[in-house]
Structure 1
Amino acid sequence: MSTTLGSVLLIVALLGLAYKRANLKTSAIVVGVIAALAFFGPASATLTTIAVVLTAVFAVLSLESFRANTITRPIFAIYKKILPEMSETEATALEAGTVWWDGELFAGKPNWNKLIDHPNPTLAPEEQAFLDNQVETLCSMVDEWEISNQGDMSKEVWEYIQKERFFSMIIPKEYGGLGFSAQAQSAVLQKLSGLSGAVFSTVGVPNSLGPGELLLKYGTQEQKDHYLPRLADGREIPCFGLTGPRAGSDATSLPDTGVVCKGEWEGKEVLGLKLNFSKRYITLAPVATVVGLAFRMFDPDKLLGDKYDIGITVALLPRHLQGMDIGNRHKPIGSPFMNGPIVGKDVFIPLDFIIGGAANAGEGWRMLVECLSVGRCITLPSSGAGGGKYGIAAAGAYARIRRQFGVPIAKLEGVQDSLARIAGNAYISAAAARVTAISIDQGEKPSVPSAILKYNLTEAARQIAIDSMDVHGGKAIIRGPGNYIESGYSSVPVAITVEGANILTRSMITFGQGAIRCHPFVLPEMDAAKADDLKAFDKALFGHFGFIFSNMSRSAVLSLTNAAFTSVPVSGPTKKYYKQINRYAANFALAVDMCMFSLGGELKFRELISARLADMVSKMYLASMVLKHWEDQGRNKEDLILVEYAMDKLFSEFEAAQDGLIKNLPARPVAWLLRALTLPLGRTAKAPSDKTIAKIVDLTSAATGTRERLIEGIYRGDNGKNPLFMYDSLLSRAEKAEPIYKKIGIALKEGKFNEANLTIEGRIHDAVEMNVLTKDEGDFMIAFEKDVLDMVNVDDFPLEHFGEVAIKHDAPAAARKATKKKASDTEQA
């Protein structure tokens, strides 16, 4: 074997062994064979020596006991010294939830069968019936303009929500609840989200993090038997007090206290807690009858044991406790849902008010983070997914019927860009919300995906709201019963802010939790160090080394070949996207280790680095959800354009984050190596093309199967004020109207119309008179244009409708009377 051939063979072998993550024994054998061939062939002494040395190294390192005692032991000693202390609250947060598809992405080599084989269940018959009946009825009762003006939902809406047990979707049937799956809960909330933020929040919060879920998981049987039936049938309205003026996203910094003491309860002296607290931004607090409260528990007199600071604890408080001030309201922007402060001074409660009883004293943080990982995967993501469906349903239809410059504005490329972005974000959000909800139904508690969905889907909702405003133009900036955009637009910041502000979710939580929780070797290394287990540490450490070299090899090969030769278990038009995610997963896994290696403990405080890593894993996760969603929906070829748009968008955003990470990594030699291995050809992903954008708009601004699948599950009934019902009617007629518009346009170019007759109605009348249109066509267009005008018009009111004004002029009595009548008709409509 010649030196050149041997060198190539050795390099290829090393790359292949690393790529395939071969063990040390296999590596020693393979390289040993090459060494033998080199030794007995005409290869150079240098090549032979290198091959022999590598064989020896691999062979020695494969001797686990020898390796642990000679190589790993000194590393272990250093590691234990530099390992940062982890607080109890940090450890609890890391242990919360389970690792699902996020773990496959951190592993750098996703097992696609795990996702492809993931179930695709339909809703149970009773769940579908609830959607088709109770939810449909509730939607028909909602009047967002009335809610906005009155500051609350109507009494009838409140009573219907309570009567039909909307608060009890998470409560099992044996307690009188609906016992719905996570998928059904998401479907209900998506249907409500586009109609009213107040209704959505009122239904969503009791079914998310709150007394119901905490009681189910941690309550005593007595607490469950008492509260759950009452919560289910609406006799009790719950709220949960966690956030305060000085404890927002940093929930562990609670200044609220509960001090163990003796006090009087129902005429008897009992052991209990004296609570002092100040909570803000608590949804449903003004009307709640039972308050879940998080506080820091102390036992200065050692009445319970030797521990002074017992820790964060959660208790249930009836509304009418002496010393608790509840009932005032905040005024959130957007839809005016019930939200307010709760303040308590020297409020005494017995110890058995603690959820789970005295045995759960100090367990509150664990309880909260375990519940939050599920709740954040359902409620707010459903808001984003549902809002996206409503957004494209309304904006797409509006752009189809609204004409400017002689064409529907959906044909204008500037408008198409916004419309396609709405459709793409809606598709991504719907896919992520649905597939992740199903994972919860399968027993997962995906903590990292909950942060991914919370941040990305609420940010998508913000972009959808902005784009919808832009498409609708003046229609969207004038308040009134005809403006169906304003409430969602102004409510988006609420979703952005609650359950962990988005800035911190992106820059601290997503990657900060995932880096340790999902990495295949970091947590085992830490656990081994804490347990002083050299053997376990050795196994994790050398597994970690192999992992890094594997990702180096995989990143280089996949990046240079554009993932052409990686295998995936699918065929067809989406195969290339699975391959590309394989490449990105290897790139990401390598980037994670390079950042950990170069920054060490400082990485925890480099929040922009952490944010870019969070972006990278988020885009891969969302792309995976889109691919699974397309498979689950039956691989509809018509919807491939949405998949293409989503992949182009997410892949270009992944590479933007990857490029930004490399540019800002402080250790420049590490950054240069990372760029050479992961972006050797530069950024290759492209944003969606103009051609893709135009195709999406054609499919989503007309009555097509793609549009139907995209907006499936939203409210489209005729309650006299639902814009989507009218848009469905208009879209069903738009195709017939288009050739008639063309006939009028041709006649206009030929100068057949009276120049003074500028209205479309006038031109339709003249066209019929001139036999340009038939009478049937004319009658059809007059009716069609009337409905179009109703949808594009905005509301107006009498001068002093909103209060006294500084400047006003007398108007003739007849004019004043006509104006009042018009305002009255508008409000009734």
Structure 2
Amino acid sequence: MTTTTWAVLLVVALIGLAYKKANLKISTLVIAAITVAAYLSDAATGFIVTSVIFTAVFGVLSLSTFRANTITRPIFAIYKKILPEMSETESTALEAGTVWWDGELFAGKPDWHKLMDHPNPQLRPDEQAFLDNEVETLCSMINEYEIKENGDMPVELWDYIKANRFFAMIIPKEYGGLAFSAQAQSAVLQKLAGLSSTVLSTVGVPNSLGPGELLLKYGTEDQKNHYLPRLVDGREIPCFGLTGPRAGSDATSLPDTGVVCKGMWEGEEVLGLKMNFNKRYITLAPVATVVGLAFRMFDPEKLLGDKNDIGITVALLPRELEGMDIGNRHNPIGSPFMNGPIFGKDVFIPLSFIIGGAANAGQGWRMLVECLSVGRCITLPSSGAGGGKYAVATAGAYARIRRQFGIPISKLEGVQEPLARIAGNSYINSAAARVTAISIDNGEKPSVPSAILKYNLTESARQLSIDSMDIHGGSAIMRGPNNYVESGYSSVPVAITVEGANILTRTMITFGQGAIRCHPFVLPEMNAAKENNLAAFDKALFGHFGFIFSNIARSFVLSTTNAAFTSVPASGPTKKHYKQINRYAANFALSVDMAMFSLQGDLKFRELISARLADMLSKLYLASMTLKHWEDQGRQKDDLPLVEYAMAKLFSEFEDALDGFAKNLPARPVGWLVRALTMPLGRSVSKPSDKLVAKVVDLTTGATATRERLITGTYRGDNGRNPMFKYDSLLTRVDQADPIYKKIGIALKAGQYDESNLTIENRITDGVAMGILTQEEGDFMIAFEKDVLEMVNVDHFPLEGLGPVSVKHESTKDTAKAEKKPAKKKADKKTEEAS
């Protein structure tokens, strides 16, 4: 063998060892064997020396004790000095929740069996019955236009929600609650999402972050026994006060205080808190009877111990407390759900009002972040998933029955693009919401996925509402009872803003939390430094080095081969997508470490870099959930165009983020290296093709099985105003109408119709008379067109029906009448004189 051959063999061996993440002892033996073999074959001295050096380095590094004391110790000393101080609140946030599929993606080599073996449960009989009965009835009662006009839900709607325990989905049955799974809660909220953002918010918030969940997890037995049954039957309406004028997304900077002191309560002097607070944006506050309140607790007189700043604490305050001002309302755009400020000045409460009692003083931040990770995975993602289903059902059907230029507008390519986007986004949203909800039911508390879903599904809802608006055109911009699009469009900004504004969620929370929480080595390194444990730090550090070199090798190999040789759990048409995620996961893991290496502590302040890393992680997570969803639904072959569309969209967006990351890394050589290793042959995927777009539209705009699966769980009942029911009826008939339209079109071209006969109704009637259509066809089309016209018409009101009119213009008829009246009187006078 020539020296060049031996050199190639050595390089391949090094890449292979790194790719497989072989340990140092095995690496030493392999390189030593190559060295001996090369020496025996009289390879060049230079190669032998190089190979010996590699063998020696690996051999020394494999001696863990020696390595720790000679190499790691000085690194350890430097690391401890530069390791930034982590506040108690940051530490608590990092420890909250669990690491699930997000951890597999950060590892760069996802274990697909962990996701494929994930359960796929169906709803319990009682959950399905609630959806089929109570939720169905509630949906039939909703009139969003009237809710907006009146500024509130009607009394009967409030009473029905309370009486049927919609506020008690998370409360156990022992307290009278429904004890629903996360999957069932999501299904309920998705069904409401398309009909009313007001009802969705009213039902969703008490079942998310609020007094109910906090009491369940942290309350004393007395608190649970008192409040939970009252929350179940509606005697108590809860709200939770966290945000304020100076502490919105930065909830750790609460200026609201509770100072330990003695005061009078029910005729006795007790130890308690004097509270001062100013809260805003609090959902249900104007009608709440009990307020969960987050504040910072202080003990200046050391009545409880030696600590002055006890920390963030959470308490329950009854509405009637002296000094608490509650009842005013904010006026949210798009949706008049109950939301308002809460003020308190020198409000005294006993320590027993703290959730969990005095023992939980200062534990509020931990309580909040632990609950938030679950709540954010259900309520807001459900609005995105449910809104997507509603958009598919309405916009798709509208485009199929609405005709322009002699064809359904769903056949116009300009309309097909947003239609396919609606269908694709809806499929992704449904998959992510469902699979993640099941993970919660399986014991996970997915804090990083909650941020991924919150941001991506609400942003997707924004695009869905815009696309639906564009497709419906004029009928979507005229307000009135028949406009079923405007509510979703105008209420989207609320979801974008609440529970962590989307800008913050993308640029700081998603990657910022995941980088430490989910990375396989960063947190162990930090913990070892805090504990001053050299051996643990050495193990984590060299594990991290091996991880970096493995991802360098994997990224290069998988990117040059397009992951052709990786093993995946699936066969058939989706196999390639699993392989692509394997490649991208290695690219992402490498990018994370290159960002940490080149920016170090500054990464925390490079928000756009963090945002692109968050985008990469998000696209991988959503793609994984989509593939799992397809598997769970029985690998429906008809739905493959939706899967293909989703993968093309998500993968192209991943490469957008990766490209932006490599181009914007401040250390340009590192950016060039990342690009060379992750995209050595340039970009490998494209956005969905026009042909694929057309396939998706054909599948989702007619009465197909794919459409049924995509919009499952929506309200389809006939309450006299439900567009879904009307569109379902039209879609079952539109295929019968198509050949009749064609007959009329052929007759028009042949000149059989009078050119002045322009209305479709007249053409149908005349067509029957001329024998172009049968009487049966004519009767069918007249009824069909009547229903079509009802769906495309918009509301109109009397001139003064929408308020006073400042300027009135008399019509020509009115002016003529006014001019004739004097002449008539003059003629009458002459007649009288003649008499």
- TM bucket by the smaller chain? over 0.9
Alpha-carbon shift at residue 315 of structure 1 (Å):
0.1
Q: Give per-residue Cα distances to partners, 1:235-266, cap 9 Å, x unaligned.
A: 11000000101110000111100000000000
Q: Give per-residue Cα distances to partners, 1:792-823, cap 9 Å, x unaligned.
A: 00000011112111112356999xxxxxxxxx
Provide the residue aligned with 1:767 in structure 2: 767
**Equivalent-residue separation in structure 2 for 1:811 and 1:733 (angstroms):** 44
Unaligned stretches of 5+ residues in structure 1? 815-829
Aligned-partner residue type, residue 143 of structure 1: N
**Equivalent-residue separation in structure 2 for 1:45 and 1:671 (angstroms):** 36
Provide the residue aligned with 2:312 in structure 1: 312
Describe the SS at the equivalent of 1:310: strand
**Equivalent-residue separation in structure 2 for 1:199 and 1:282 (angstroms):** 16
Provide the residue aligned with 1:795 in structure 2: 795
Provide the residue aligned with 1:125 in structure 2: 125
Matched, 1:217 2:217: yes
**Equivalent-residue separation in structure 1 for 2:414 and 2:656 (angstroms):** 24
**Equivalent-residue separation in structure 2 for 1:268 and 1:87 (angstroms):** 39
- Of the structure 1 ranges 798-807 and 16-25, higher mean CA displacement relative to structure 2 is found in 798-807
Aligned-partner residue type, residue 699 of structure 1: L
Unaligned stretches of 5+ residues in structure 2? 815-835
Provide the residue aligned with 1:822 in structure 2: none
Provide the residue aligned with 1:255 in structure 2: 255
Q: Give per-residue Cα distances to partners, 1:448-502, cap 9 Å, x unaligned.
A: 0000000000000000000000000001000000000000000000000000000
Provide the residue aligned with 1:579 in structure 2: 579
Matched, 1:664 2:664: yes
Alpha-carbon shift at residue 2 of structure 1 (Å):
2.5
**Equivalent-residue separation in structure 2 for 1:530 and 1:772 (angstroms):** 87
Aligned-partner residue type, residue 540 of structure 2: A
Provide the residue aligned with 2:818 in structure 1: none
Provide the residue aligned with 2:395 in structure 1: 395
Q: Give per-residue Cα distances to partners, 1:572-597, cap 9 Å, x unaligned.
A: 11000000000000000000000000
Alpha-carbon shift at residue 569 of structure 1 (Å):
1.7
Alpha-carbon shift at residue 657 of structure 1 (Å):
0.3
Aligned-partner residue type, residue 479 of structure 2: R
- Of the structure 1 ranges 612-621 and 799-808, higher mean CA displacement relative to structure 2 is found in 799-808
Alpha-carbon shift at residue 311 of structure 1 (Å):
0.5
Provide the residue aligned with 1:826 in structure 2: none
Describe the SS at the equivalent of 1:573: helix
**Equivalent-residue separation in structure 2 for 1:44 and 1:410 (angstroms):** 70
**Equivalent-residue separation in structure 1 for 2:10 and 2:662 (angstroms):** 30
Provide the residue aligned with 1:750 in structure 2: 750
Provide the residue aligned with 1:520 in structure 2: 520
Provide the residue aligned with 1:174 in structure 2: 174
Alpha-carbon shift at residue 49 of structure 1 (Å):
1.3
- Of the structure 1 ranges 38-47 and 453-462, higher mean CA displacement relative to structure 2 is found in 38-47
Alpha-carbon shift at residue 42 of structure 1 (Å):
2.7
Q: Give per-residue Cα distances to partners, 1:740-784, cap 9 Å, x unaligned.
A: 000000000111111111000010011101100000000000000
Alpha-carbon shift at residue 428 of structure 1 (Å):
0.3
Map 1:232-631 to 2 at 5 A: 232-631=232-631
Matched, 1:79 2:109: no
Alpha-carbon shift at residue 570 of structure 1 (Å):
1.3
Aligned-partner residue type, residue 574 of structure 2: T
Alpha-carbon shift at residue 4 of structure 1 (Å):
2.1
**Equivalent-residue separation in structure 2 for 1:271 and 1:383 (angstroms):** 43
Aligned-partner residue type, residue 441 of structure 1: D
Describe the SS at the equivalent of 1:680: coil
**Equivalent-residue separation in structure 1 for 2:355 and 2:442 (angstroms):** 26
Alpha-carbon shift at residue 685 of structure 1 (Å):
1.3
Aligned-partner residue type, residue 276 of structure 2: N
Q: Give per-residue Cα distances to partners, 1:70-123, cap 9 Å, x unaligned.
A: 000000000000000011111010000000000000000000000000000000
Aligned-partner residue type, residue 434 of structure 2: R
**Equivalent-residue separation in structure 2 for 1:569 and 1:633 (angstroms):** 16
**Equivalent-residue separation in structure 2 for 1:141 and 1:21 (angstroms):** 60
Aligned-partner residue type, residue 85 of structure 1: E
Alpha-carbon shift at residue 5 of structure 1 (Å):
2.0
Provide the residue aligned with 2:111 in structure 1: 111
Q: Give per-residue Cα distances to partners, 1:162-181, cap 9 Å, x unaligned.
A: 00000000000001100000
Size of the alignment, in residue pairs?
A: 814
Aligned Cα RMSD in Å? 0.9
Describe the SS at the equivalent of 1:574: helix
Alpha-carbon shift at residue 646 of structure 1 (Å):
0.2
The two structures have a TM-score, normalised by structure 2, of 0.97
Aligned-partner residue type, residue 168 of structure 2: S
Matched, 1:11 2:11: yes
**CA gap 1:370/1:813 in 2 versus in 1, 3 angstroms:** farther
**Equivalent-residue separation in structure 2 for 1:810 and 1:324 (angstroms):** 55
**Equivalent-residue separation in structure 1 for 2:52 and 2:133 (angstroms):** 75
Alpha-carbon shift at residue 55 of structure 1 (Å):
1.1
Alpha-carbon shift at residue 47 of structure 1 (Å):
1.4
**Equivalent-residue separation in structure 2 for 1:565 and 1:406 (angstroms):** 51
Alpha-carbon shift at residue 211 of structure 1 (Å):
0.1
Describe the SS at the equivalent of 2:347: strand
Q: Give per-residue Cα distances to partners, 1:350-377, cap 9 Å, x unaligned.
A: 0000000000000000000000000000
**Equivalent-residue separation in structure 2 for 1:761 and 1:129 (angstroms):** 44
Aligned-partner residue type, residue 334 of structure 1: G
Provide the residue aligned with 1:785 in structure 2: 785
**Equivalent-residue separation in structure 1 for 2:749 and 2:153 (angstroms):** 53
Q: Give per-residue Cα distances to partners, 1:632-675, cap 9 Å, x unaligned.
A: 00000000100000000000000000000111100001111111
The two structures have a TM-score, normalised by structure 1, of 0.98
Aligned-partner residue type, residue 606 of structure 2: R
The runs of 4+ residues in structure 1 deviating greater than 3 Å are: 809-814
**Equivalent-residue separation in structure 2 for 1:458 and 1:798 (angstroms):** 37
**Equivalent-residue separation in structure 2 for 1:713 and 1:40 (angstroms):** 72
Describe the SS at the equivalent of 2:572: coil
Map 1:630-649 to 2 at 5 A: 630-649=630-649
Provide the residue aligned with 2:61 in structure 1: 61
Aligned-partner residue type, residue 127 of structure 2: E
Aligned-partner residue type, residue 142 of structure 2: V
**Equivalent-residue separation in structure 1 for 2:212 and 2:47 (angstroms):** 69
Describe the SS at the equivalent of 2:573: coil
* Residue identity (%): 79
**Equivalent-residue separation in structure 1 for 2:305 and 2:120 (angstroms):** 50
Alpha-carbon shift at residue 604 of structure 1 (Å):
0.1
Describe the SS at the equivalent of 1:275: strand
Provide the residue aligned with 2:805 in structure 1: 805
Describe the SS at the equivalent of 2:271: strand
Provide the residue aligned with 1:824 in structure 2: none
Aligned-partner residue type, residue 46 of structure 1: G
Provide the residue aligned with 2:828 in structure 1: none
Provide the residue aligned with 2:94 in structure 1: 94
**Equivalent-residue separation in structure 1 for 2:790 and 2:617 (angstroms):** 45
Describe the SS at the equivalent of 2:685: coil
Alpha-carbon shift at residue 699 of structure 1 (Å):
0.7
**Equivalent-residue separation in structure 1 for 2:193 and 2:810 (angstroms):** 44
Describe the SS at the equivalent of 1:295: strand
**Equivalent-residue separation in structure 2 for 1:50 and 1:706 (angstroms):** 61
**Equivalent-residue separation in structure 1 for 2:442 and 2:46 (angstroms):** 57
**Equivalent-residue separation in structure 1 for 2:13 and 2:570 (angstroms):** 28
**Equivalent-residue separation in structure 1 for 2:392 and 2:789 (angstroms):** 20
Matched, 1:227 2:248: no
Aligned-partner residue type, residue 542 of structure 1: F
**Equivalent-residue separation in structure 2 for 1:813 and 1:388 (angstroms):** 50
Describe the SS at the equivalent of 2:243: coil
**Equivalent-residue separation in structure 2 for 1:259 and 1:281 (angstroms):** 24
**Equivalent-residue separation in structure 1 for 2:723 and 2:92 (angstroms):** 47
Map 1:114-193 to 2 at 5 A: 114-193=114-193
